[in-house]
Amino acid sequence: MTTIEKSLELSKDISKSLEGITTDADDKLLFPGLFHSLVIEHHRSIIVLCERQLYSSAASLIRCVFESYVKGLWFSEFAEEADFEKLRNDDFNKDFYKLVNALESKHNNGLKTAKERYWPNLNSFTHSGTAQLSRRIKDDQIVSNFDDEFIQQMLSFTNTYALLSFGQIAELSGNVNAQKAFVAMIDKHSDFKETADCVKGL
């Protein structure tokens, strides 16, 4: 089974397990859930784009996956009413590194390392920088030029955060079946567990 096929299987497992999950409309549950749902949708979009060999567009979404995951965690654990109000008005502008540092200080979960290593390149992919443009040249042609290793690393990275976001939704919802499904998915898709080196090429 190819990495794309395995990624799609994970995405389908997540979608199936999300069916019927409900949560209260409390800000501490609703907004983190919205962010994590974005992670899961962006993940599926990356898979679909890779299937169609639209790798530049897929790569531009990697940052969106990571950023949405971090915001989902931060708004669940640290946000105050003023932060939710700013978010509603599209005026939330707390520096991203502060979100990461707060989460890292509490959990030591590797987000700071991931941010320091990959954030510049993730921005470059999203904002049409060198990381993106350098993969638009092959010999004397302007064409997509993403190698297989990069594609696998991109999928592995986003698979990890999609799985973790599903775990967060399962926890926020208090749905026991979803929580059991998350544990089962970790076992089934054990090769997608995050390691610090899963995105060397990003």
pLDDT at 191: 72
pLDDT at 23: 83
Distances (CA, A) of 38 to 145, 149, 159: 27, 25, 13
What's the CA gap between 36 and 164, in Å, rounded?
A: 9
Query: How do the pLDDT tens digits run along the chain, 202 residues long?
Result: 899 999 999 999 999 999 989 888 899 999 999 999 999 999 999 999 999 999 999 999 999 999 999 999 999 999 999 999 999 999 999 999 999 999 999 999 899 999 999 999 999 999 999 999 999 999 999 999 999 999 999 999 999 999 999 999 999 999 999 999 999 999 888 776 543 333 444 4
The residue among 202, 183, 55, 38 whose CA lies nearest residue 117 is 202
pLDDT at 198: 39
Q: Is 186 exposed, middle or buried (0-12, 13-18, 19+ CB in 10 A)?
A: middle
- Cβ neighbours around 61 below 10 Å, total: 21
- Cβ neighbours around 202 below 10 Å, total: 22
